[in-house]
Structure 1
Amino acid sequence: MKNSGLAAILSFFIAGLGQIYNGQIGKGVIFIVCYTISAFLMIVIIGFITTPILWIWGMVDAYKTAEKINAAQNRVG
């Protein structure tokens, strides 16, 4: 069982960490890389739009994925 709240909180502090907690290592690394690039893009203004979007998307995705994992486990076991 995955704690969906913990997954969201981990992504709150480090984008992609919630995905890694959920077992989606590749997806988590992609989030981390994209978030880092987006943060550097703040130099040319566009990062001020993309960074919060990626941050929020990462938290929501981590939460929903943990919920899906739990629902699948409840059906099986």
Structure 2
Amino acid sequence: MRDPGLAALLSFLIPGMGQLYNGKWGRAIFWFIFTPGLWLGTGGLLGWVAHIIAAITAHNYARRHPYRSVGG
């Protein structure tokens, strides 16, 4: 089973890790690229926004899809 709290924590610490935990590779790659771009592009002002949104989306996905499929 997926733990929504763990997914959120992972993505809050490193945006994209919660998505990897959920098995969503494409979304993980997006957050791995987008977050540093936002940190650098805004001089650090909006980087935390990406952390929060990534954590919320990872949490919501894990809550809606609590069971892993076979092989993933």
Structure 1 Cα separation of the partners of residues 51 and 6 of structure 2: 15
Structure number with larger C-alpha Rg: 1
Alpha-carbon deviation of 1:39?
A: 1.3
- The root-mean-square deviation of aligned C-alpha atoms, in Å, is 1.3
TM-score normalised by the chain length of structure 2: 0.84
Equivalent pairs counted in the alignment come to 67
1:2 paired with 2:5, answer no
2:70 match = none
Name segments (4+ residues, structure 1) moved above 6 Å.
none
1:29-71 per-position Cα deviation (integer Å, ceiling 9, x unaligned) = 101100011111133xxx513x22211100000000000111x
2:64 match = 68
Structure 1 Cα separation of the partners of residues 19 and 8 of structure 2: 9
Structure 2 Cα separation of the partners of residues 14 and 52 of structure 1: 11
